[in-house]
């Protein structure tokens, strides 16, 4: 949990090939670039009164490193793990292991696509998942995650036994 008096800080993680947004299969992923999405998230974060930091990698291990490194300074993660969503035990274990809530997001509706995209290894550990709304999946995911973090941080902690 973030120290009191400090702003809630959220780490946004973008997985493989999301650096190609704008040119990559625009009929599926739209025409916005990753920079556009990050800018939209910073705008939304400002209106929610929180801070975001964003990170993209095509390398599974670098995403794991980033989760471990960012966890102590953030209250939660907003994650579009791209194809690793469907394959990565390592990302699932990292997210489950650092004790921070996360929300899974996808630009496309993965449930309406090929069967291999229907399974998410991350979703069972997530607070929730939002998909199919393009950039709005990220925006809605950020709102949901911040509301969750604020609810949890406002809840009285259990008495020490």
Q: 96, 125 in Cβ contact below 8 A?
A: yes
Rule CB under 6 A: say whether 17 interacts with ligand DQA: yes
Centre a 10 Å sphere on the Cβ of residue 61 and count the other Cβ atoms it contains: 11
Q: Is 14 a catalytic residue?
A: no
Burial letters for 112-149: b for 16+ Cβ neighbours within 10 Å, e otherwise? eeeeebeebbbeebbbebbbebbbebbbbbbebbbebb
Pairing of strands 9-14, 102-106: unpaired
Question: Residue from 42, 117, 143, 150 that binds ligand DQA (CB under 6 A)?
Answer: 117
CB of 68 to ligand DQA, least distance (A): 22
CB of 89 to ligand DQA, least distance (A): 16
CB of 117 to ligand DQA, least distance (A): 4
Q: Is 84 a catalytic residue?
A: no
Of 4-12, 56-64, 65-73, 76-84, the segment contacting ligand DQA by CB under 6 A is 76-84
Starting at the edge strand found earlier in the chain, the sheet holding 102-106 runs 51-56, 9-14, 76-80, 102-106, 128-131
Rule CB under 6 A: say whether 141 interacts with ligand DQA: no
Integer-rounded Cα Rg, in Å, for the chain is 15
Nearer to ligand DQA, 33 or 108 (CB): 108
Rule CB under 6 A: say whether 33 interacts with ligand DQA: no
Rule CB under 6 A: say whether 92 interacts with ligand DQA: no
Which residues of the shown chain bind ligand DQA in the complex (CB under 6 A)? 17, 80, 82-83, 85, 106-108, 110, 117
Looking at the annotation, which residues are catalytic? 29, 106
């Amino acid at each position: 949990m973030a120290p009191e008096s400090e702003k809630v800080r959220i780490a946004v993680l973008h997985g493989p090939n999301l650096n190609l947004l704008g040119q990559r299969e625009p009929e599926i992923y739209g025409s916005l670039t990753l920079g556009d999405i990050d800018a939209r998230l910073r705008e939304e974060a400002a209106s929610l009164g929180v801070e975001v930091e964003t990170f993209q990698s095509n390398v599974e291990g670098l995403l794991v490193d980033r989760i471990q490194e960012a966890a102590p300074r953030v209250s939660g993660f907003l994650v579009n793990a791209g194809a690793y969503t469907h394959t990565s035990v390592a990302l699932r274990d990292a997210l489950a292991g650092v004790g921070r809530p996360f929300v899974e997001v996808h630009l496309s509706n993965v449930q309406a696509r090929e069967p291999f995209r229907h399974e998410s290894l991350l979703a069972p550990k997530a607070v929730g998942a939002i998909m199919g709304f393009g950039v709005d999946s990220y925006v809605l995911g950020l709102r949901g995650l911040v509301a969750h973090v604020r609810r949890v941080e406002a809840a009285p902690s259990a008495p020490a036994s």
